[in-house]
Amino acid sequence: MTLRKQGVLAALALGFLAARETIAGGGTVVFETTSVYHHIRVVEAGEYRSLLFDSSEQSRIALADPEAGRFEYIDYFFMPWLWNVAMTNVLMIGLGGGSAQQAYARYCPGVTVETVELDPAVLKVAEDYFGFRQSPRQRVVISDGRMFLQRSRRQYDAVLVDAYVEGRYGASIPYHLATQEFFRLVSDRLATNGVVAYNCIGVLQNDKADLVGALHRTMKSVFSQVYLFPARESWNVVLVGTRDAEAKKAHELWPNAMPAWQSGRLRLPTFFQRLGVFRVAPPASSLNSPLLADDYAPVDGLLGGMRPLAPQLRRQTAAPR
């Protein structure tokens, strides 16, 4: 056994022995461990259980129903159905508590979801505390997401990216999963009508250089169109990249998903409701934000550029839109 594996197992063993403790701001820690990659806590507060990396909330479920209570932005990972109406397989980079994976299992039972997760401790926590289960249609590979894409030759109907690390200003996207080279790799792994959906922390009102603007500009350098789905209940923005020759509006796209909805292949109850946030216009900040590349990707610095907002830019802090 390698020293790295020994370290992971030791961290898990210590974590499972952790006693329940009350944390500042309310809530009870029911599990805690430090893995090779994260300080992981499972916290219960009121009717919800949450997964935290350091101080950033990654996933949430309702204790009364593990399949309920997920964050709003998860629903926007179903938007690829607007462009790819016959989806059968999805690649997800980042597991967290498995909210998106379980939602796909429930609302798109004919779709196979392959998840790439860097941290084996996160998989263990998702299984033990958040109801996630592997199955023939739910497979998890422990690997770095970009390395997995480089080694794989499979084609996917959609690639969903929801990977975070803790940085100076809270949750931040790993540098190597936000560059032009990364998105070119993603594009190479997409099927003919393939779509990429990317979760980002940020706001759309900002006109200064920021992460949302930089991601939009970078994705637009690879994909013909980039659409925005800003969550109403948090600072999350899901960017969707497609190969559309021309930009389309929501009312032009939603009929595409109707056959899947009517046949039961797509069952998300809020699907058409979520189209109310659909945005075609780029964020104002994209004009001033840098193109992210492997040799220049100041991801946490762009989040730090929003310092007046930084204390609020936790992954799921409620915010008015």
Q: What is the pLDDT of residue 315?
A: 45
218, 292 Cβ separation under 8 angstroms: yes
Higher pLDDT, 35 or 169: 35
Which amino acid is it at 280? V
Environment class of residue 93 by beta-carbon count within 10 Å: exposed (0-12), middle (13-18) or buried (19+)?
Answer: buried
185-204: average pLDDT: 95
Asked if residue 311 has pLDDT above 80, the reply is: no
12 pLDDT band (50/70/90 cuts)? very low
Q: Is 312 helix (H, G, I), strand (E, B) or coil?
A: helix
Higher pLDDT, 35 or 318: 35
| CA gap 271, 192 in Å, rounded | 23
Q: Is 195 helix (H, G, I), strand (E, B) or coil?
A: strand
Q: What is the pLDDT of residue 125?
A: 98
Q: How far is CA 274 from CA 42, 224, 254, 268, 270, in A?
A: 29, 23, 11, 10, 6
Q: How far is CA 220 from CA 88, 117, 138, 209, 239, in A?
A: 26, 26, 30, 16, 10
172-177: average pLDDT: 89
Tell me the HSE value of 278 on the side-chain side, using a 13 A CA sphere: 18
| CA gap 126, 58 in Å, rounded | 11
Indicate the range of 77-86, 93-102, 290-299 predicted with least confidence: 290-299
Q: Which residues pair with 49 in a beta bridge?
A: 44, 61
What does CATH list as the number for 72-312? 3.40.50.150
User: Within 10 Å of residue 108's Cβ, how many Cβ atoms?
Assistant: 22
279 pLDDT band (50/70/90 cuts)? very high
Q: What is the pLDDT of residue 306?
A: 47
| CA gap 313, 302 in Å, rounded | 12
23 pLDDT band (50/70/90 cuts)? low
What is the dihedral angle through the alpha carbons of 63, 67, 73, 76, rounded to the nearest 10 degrees?
Answer: -170
SS3 content of the chain, % helix, strand, coil (to 5): 35, 25, 40
Mean of pLDDT over the chain: 86
Q: How far is CA 169 from CA 11, 23, 306, 309, in A?
A: 25, 21, 9, 10
At residue 224, φ and ψ (nearest 5 deg) are -60, -40
Domain-wise residue ranges, the chain? 3-62, 72-312
| CA gap 260, 278 in Å, rounded | 20
21 pLDDT band (50/70/90 cuts)? very low
Q: Which residues pair with 237 in a beta bridge?
A: 200, 230
Using one digit for the tens of pLDDT, what is the confidence trace for 143-157?
999 999 999 999 999
Radius of gyration for the alpha carbons in the chain, expressed in angstroms and rounded: 19
Using one digit for the tens of pLDDT, what is the confidence trace for 42-74?
999 999 999 999 888 999 999 998 778 899 999
